[in-house]
């Protein structure tokens, strides 16, 4: 039976998303049909809308989602109809040069097919009413009532986890918490600075807390976000518009040396520059934020010296099958905050208003509820 459903479609950058009725493709092999229940509005989606990230159009955005499995393909394993799942945007082949080196985020098939905005096997999973193939962002295209994904992308989680909380784990929370727990080497009692207190930064604050950091310095330009960071575990608040964040790192680091670890989640040239100025000699910088791919970022050369280690992380070292259930359980056990990340719950028809609020900096996460 042919499945039609409503989805938010972007036809041209810098134009509103259009709510349209689209038609799903037939399931094949290890495909899984997921009825989307909640999807978060992420800055990456906004970057595609604004043209900072370039993808072929027309496209369905959305890569932070949770839902219920409605149908499984004949070769799908590890997932069953009725399962509650969080979706992962990093499918990987498991046997290429990078997968063999334990870097699935650099999987050669993933990197080849991702810019084409198709499924992991190169196919299109939906089409418009006029018959044109519909692209999907990051192998998901979750701003619709349904999504077809590979079985490995549908990670089963406890059914008591609310969908609107669960969807956040799929991107922002995994990226931030994972950066602190899986990528950075935070020792017990370390001084950690987090630059940028959006969804990823607030999650990084939580990850630093869970890793045993002694001092967590949160940096932002918005006092409301800084107050939220304190509720998430930050011990020091720095408004970079008024205060000297480098001096704060030195003041709270051991013997005035600076932060042991800096997690940059602001995604701005100023944030990147601050990260390498604030970290101590021999310390570690993890870049989580990003700017336009064609933007040049300048640094003071002296800030890059003294054996500092700098690493870019896109997904917090995610192993979704392992990490998503662990993060879900941490929330259910009260060790991980998710409720406070949700600023608004909106309908699909209000998605353009949600992105406008995100662009104005008014929200941490708006979540589309289906």
Is residue 217 in some structural domain?
Answer: yes
Which residues form the domain of 12?
A: 4-156+338-369
Q: What count of residues does the chain have?
A: 370
Residues 285-324 have pLDDT tens digits of: 999 999 888 889 999 999 999 999 999 999 999 999 999 9
CA-nearest of 61, 66, 19 to 38 is 66
Within 212-259, where are the H helices? Answer: 223-232, 245-252
Q: Are residues 142 and 12 in the same domain?
A: yes
* Extended beta strands in the chain, E state: 4-10, 18-24, 31-40, 59-60, 65-72, 84-87, 126-127, 133-136, 146-150, 154-156, 191-195, 215-220, 236-239, 259-264, 279-287, 309-312, 342-346, 365-369
The answer to the question of residue 40 being in a domain is yes
Domain boundary among 296, 312, 328: 312
Share the mean pLDDT of the chain: 96
Task: Say whether both 15 and 146 belong to one domain.
Answer: yes
* 320 occurs within a structural domain: no
In whole angstroms, what is the distance from residue 15 CA to residue 352 CA? 10
72 has pLDDT over 80? yes
At 163, the pLDDT band (50, 70, 90 cuts) reads very high
Q: In which residue are the tokens 């930064």 written?
A: 201
> What CATH number does the domain containing 215 carry?
3.40.50.720
High-pLDDT (> 70) share of the chain, %: 100
The pLDDT, as a whole number, for residue 292 is 83
Residues 8 and 144 in one domain: yes
How much is the average pLDDT of 86-93? 96
Same domain, 205 and 262: yes
27 and 150 together in one domain? yes
For residue 342, the SS3 value is: strand
Q: How confident is the model at residue 249 (pLDDT cuts 50, 70, 90)?
A: very high
Q: Is the pLDDT of residue 1 over 80?
A: no
Same domain, 11 and 132: yes
Domain termination residue (choose one: 264, 296, 312): 312
197 pLDDT above the threshold of 90: yes
Region 238-267: mean pLDDT is 95
What confidence tens digit (pLDDT) does each residue in 21-52 have? Answer: 999 999 999 999 999 999 999 999 999 999 98
Is residue 8 domain-resident?
yes
**Inter-residue contact 93 to 99 (CB < 8 Å):** yes
In a domain, 103, yes or no: yes
Given a contact cutoff of 8 angstroms between Cβ atoms, the answer to whether 230 and 205 are in contact is: no
- For residue 150, the model assigns a pLDDT of 96
Peptide bond connecting 58 to the previous residue in cis, omega within 30 degrees of 0: yes
Residue 244 has pLDDT above 80, yes or no: yes
User: In terms of domains, do 139 and 241 share one?
Assistant: no
Rounded average pLDDT over 270-290: 97
User: Quick one: 306 and 194 in the same domain?
Assistant: yes
The pLDDT, as a whole number, for residue 103 is 95
88/223 same-domain check: no
Q: Are 113 and 224 contained in the same domain? A: no
Q: Is 163 contained in some domain?
A: no
- Please tell me what DSSP assigns to residue 181: I
pLDDT of residue 255: 86
Helices 269-278 and 245-252 meet at what angle, rounded to 10? 30
Task: List, for residues 117-149, the tens digit of each pLDDT value.
Answer: 999 999 999 999 999 999 999 999 999 999 999
Look at residue 327 and tell me if it is in a domain. Answer: no
* 81 occurs within a structural domain: yes
Same domain flag for 152 and 180? no
CA dihedral of 44, 50, 54, 60, whole degrees rounded to 10: 70
Same domain, 250 and 356: no
What local confidence, expressed as pLDDT, does residue 346 receive? Answer: 98
- Predicted local confidence at residue 184, as pLDDT: 97
C-alpha distances in Å from residue 102, one per residue of 42, 107, 157, 189: 27, 9, 24, 29
User: Could you tell me the CA-to-CA distances from 89 to 85, 137, 142, 276, 324 in Å, in that order?
Assistant: 13, 9, 10, 29, 12
Give the chain's domain count: 2
Residue 362 belongs to domain with CATH number: 3.90.180.10
The pTM of the full predicted model, rounded to 2 decimals, is 0.95
């Amino acid at each position: 039976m042919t499945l039609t459903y409503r989805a938010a479609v972007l036809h041209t950058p810098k134009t509103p998303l259009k709510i349209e009725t689209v038609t799903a493709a037939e399931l094949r092999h290890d495909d899984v049909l997921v009825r989307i229940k909640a999807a978060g509005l992420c800055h990456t989606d906004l970057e595609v809308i604004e043209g900072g990230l370039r993808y072929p159009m027309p496209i369905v955005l959305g890569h932070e989602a949770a839902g219920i499995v409605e149908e499984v393909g004949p070769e799908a394993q590890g997932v069953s109809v009725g399962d509650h799942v969080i979706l992962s945007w990093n499918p990987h082949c498991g046997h290429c040069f990078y997968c063999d080196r334990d870097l699935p985020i650099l999987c050669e098939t993933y990197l080849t097919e991702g810019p084409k905005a198709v499924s992991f096997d190169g196919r299109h999973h939906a089409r418009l009413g006029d018959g044109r193939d519909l692209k999907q962002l990051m192998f998901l295209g979750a701003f619709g009532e349904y999504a077809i994904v590979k079985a490995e992308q549908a990670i089963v989680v406890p059914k008591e986890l609310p969908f609107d909380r669960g969807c956040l784990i799929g991107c922002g929370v995994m990226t931030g918490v994972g950066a602190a727990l899986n990528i950075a080497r935070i020792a017990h009692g370390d001084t950690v600075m987090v630059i940028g207190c959006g969804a990823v930064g607030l999650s990084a604050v939580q990850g630093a807390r869970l890793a045993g950091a002694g001092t967590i310095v949160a940096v932002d330009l918005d006092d409301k976000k800084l107050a939220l960071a304190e509720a998430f575990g930050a011990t020091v608040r720095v408004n970079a518009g008024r205060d000297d964040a480098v001096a704060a790192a030195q003041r709270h680091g051991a013997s005035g040396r600076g932060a042991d670890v800096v997690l940059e989640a602001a995604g701005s040239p100023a944030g990147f520059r601050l990260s390498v100025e604030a970290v101590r000699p021999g310390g570690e910088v993890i870049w989580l934020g990003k700017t336009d791919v064609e933007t040049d970022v300048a640094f003071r050369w002296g800030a890059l010296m003294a054996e500092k280690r700098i690493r870019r992380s896109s997904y917090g070292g995610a192993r979704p099958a392992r990490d998503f259930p662990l993060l879900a359980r941490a929330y259910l056990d009260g060790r991980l905050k998710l409720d406070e990340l949700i600023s608004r719950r909106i309908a699909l028809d209000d998605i353009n208003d949600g992105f406008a609020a995100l662009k104005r900096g008014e929200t941490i996460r708006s979540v589309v509820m289906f």
